[in-house]
Structure 1
Amino acid sequence: MTVFSFLIIGIGLSVDSMAASVTTGACAGRIKVMEILKVAAFMSVFQGSMPLLGWLIGSSFKNVVQAYDHWIALFMLVLIGGKMIVDGLKEKDPDASACLCPSNHLMLAGMALATSIDALVVGIGFGILSINIWLAVMMIGGITFIFSVAGVILGKTIGSKLNMGMEIIGGIVLIGLGLKIFLSHTYLM
């Protein structure tokens, strides 16, 4: 995989974290720079470490599924992307309390974990495809940090209007990447 592919994956995976960060910014009232950085750190650590965990799992099964790795990557990315699109199309309850307090570490960890489950599944695909996991982890974590900082700031200034559609865009990106992997393995092998 190329650096550009990792960039696209990082952007696709960071969308959930950014959406949660937008919500945090919209709900937080006055938010300090250190709180913005704390939200971004939680999101990026979880989002960056989950592919590593998935990679360890995927590497264990590499010899078993190597002939089908492109099918597995396609299936996983379409499944994750499809779920993101469906979640983005669902009507949100405006009365539901979706606020995330940046001073509550347990709540931040829970939100960071929930938004990074898809990165675990992508990491399993990484293990099967034998990619440079350290580059992937650094890029995914770094992109998530940047997107989360931007999300909190945008949420503070623009509010919940920006949150709409972010999951759909991320889902489309992941599906497109799955198709790219599938096509490159199918026609290059």
Structure 2
Amino acid sequence: MNPASLILLAFAMSTDAFAASIGRGAELSKVRFISALRIGIVFGVVEAIMPLVGWALGHVAMRFVSGVDHWIAFAMLALLGGHMIWEGLKNGGADAIKVAGVQQEDKSIWLIAVTALATSIDAMAVGITLALTDINIVVASLAIGLATTLMVTCGTLLGRAIGTVVGKWAEVLGGLILIAIGVAVLYEHLAGVVSA
């Protein structure tokens, strides 16, 4: 995976958390930067850990699926991207943050972590997919974590001003990017087979 694809992947993985943080910011009457940054860091750490977990699971399964790994990677990314698009269009993309259901700005770090976990399950699925590709999982996980920290911090700060509509389209865009990456993985493999 080239650096441009890695950056796109990192930001695509952060779009659901970004959508959730916009919803959170829209609920608050006043948002302080330090609170937004703290929420961003929690989301970023959780989002960085989940691809590692998925990669470990995928790496174990790799010996059983090595002949069709490119098709599995394509299918998983396409399905995950399609699901993100569906959720973005159906729910407006900001429902995940409301799982915690608390209105005050300084809610428990544990409730924030649970919400972060809920929005990072897709990162674990991508981690499984990354085990089937030629990528440095530590670099990919750090990129996903940093992108999520940045996006959630910004989303929380901007939520009051831009509302939940942007969150909806951010998740749709993230889904489209995942599908495009899946197509690129499949194309790279099939092009390699043809030229071999």
TM-score by length of 2: 0.88
Q: Given the alignment, which residue of 143, 146, 150 partners 2:147?
A: 143
- Structure 2 vs 1, CA of residues 115 and 91 (structure 1 numbering), >3 Å: closer, same or farther? closer
Counterpart contact for 1:38–1:102, Cα < 8 Å: no
Paired residue secondary structure (1:67): coil
**Given the alignment of the two structures, is residue 111 of structure 1 paired with residue 115 of structure 2, yes or no?**
yes
- Structure 2 vs 1, CA of residues 83 and 102 (structure 1 numbering), >3 Å: closer, same or farther? farther
Find the counterpart in structure 2 of residue 30 from structure 1. Answer: 30
Over residues 78-123 of structure 1, what are the superposed CA-to-partner deviations in whole Å (9 max), with x where a residue is unaligned? 110010111112155xxxx936655222221121011100110010
- CA–CA distance in structure 2, aligned partners of residues 106 and 29 of structure 1: 22
- CA–CA distance in structure 2, aligned partners of residues 79 and 114 of structure 1: 18
- CA–CA distance in structure 2, aligned partners of residues 5 and 76 of structure 1: 16
Find the counterpart in structure 2 of residue 55 from structure 1. Answer: 55
Find the counterpart in structure 2 of residue 5 from structure 1. Answer: 5
Give, as a single letter, the amino acid of the residue that structure 2 aligns with 1:68.
Answer: V
Paired residue secondary structure (2:135): coil
Structure 1 consecutive aligned stretches of length 4 or more whose deviation exceeds 6 Å: none
- CA–CA distance in structure 2, aligned partners of residues 91 and 25 of structure 1: 17
**Given the alignment of the two structures, is residue 69 of structure 1 paired with residue 69 of structure 2, yes or no?**
yes
Structure 2's unaligned 5+ residue stretches are: none
Paired residue secondary structure (2:144): helix
Over residues 138-170 of structure 1, what are the superposed CA-to-partner deviations in whole Å (9 max), with x where a residue is unaligned? 111111111111111110222223223221111
**Deviation at 1:11?**
1.1
Counterpart contact for 1:15–1:170, Cα < 8 Å: yes
Identity of aligned residues (%): 35
Paired residue secondary structure (1:77): helix
Counterpart contact for 2:14–2:144, Cα < 8 Å: yes
- Structure 2 vs 1, CA of residues 72 and 102 (structure 1 numbering), >3 Å: closer, same or farther? farther
Counterpart contact for 2:31–2:157, Cα < 8 Å: no
User: What is the alpha-carbon root mean square deviation over aligned residues?
Assistant: 1.8
Find the counterpart in structure 1 of residue 167 from structure 2. Answer: 163
Give, as a single letter, the amino acid of the residue that structure 1 aligns with 2:133.
Answer: L
Over residues 26-76 of structure 1, what are the superposed CA-to-partner deviations in whole Å (9 max), with x where a residue is unaligned? 112222222111110111111111000011111112222111111011010
**Deviation at 1:130?**
4.0
Q: Given the alignment, which residue of 164, 172, 175 partners 2:176?
A: 172
Give, as a single letter, the amino acid of the residue that structure 1 aligns with 2:138.
Answer: W
- CA–CA distance in structure 2, aligned partners of residues 164 and 62 of structure 1: 34
Counterpart contact for 1:66–1:129, Cα < 8 Å: no
- CA–CA distance in structure 2, aligned partners of residues 91 and 11 of structure 1: 20
Counterpart contact for 2:58–2:131, Cα < 8 Å: yes
TM-score by length of 1: 0.91
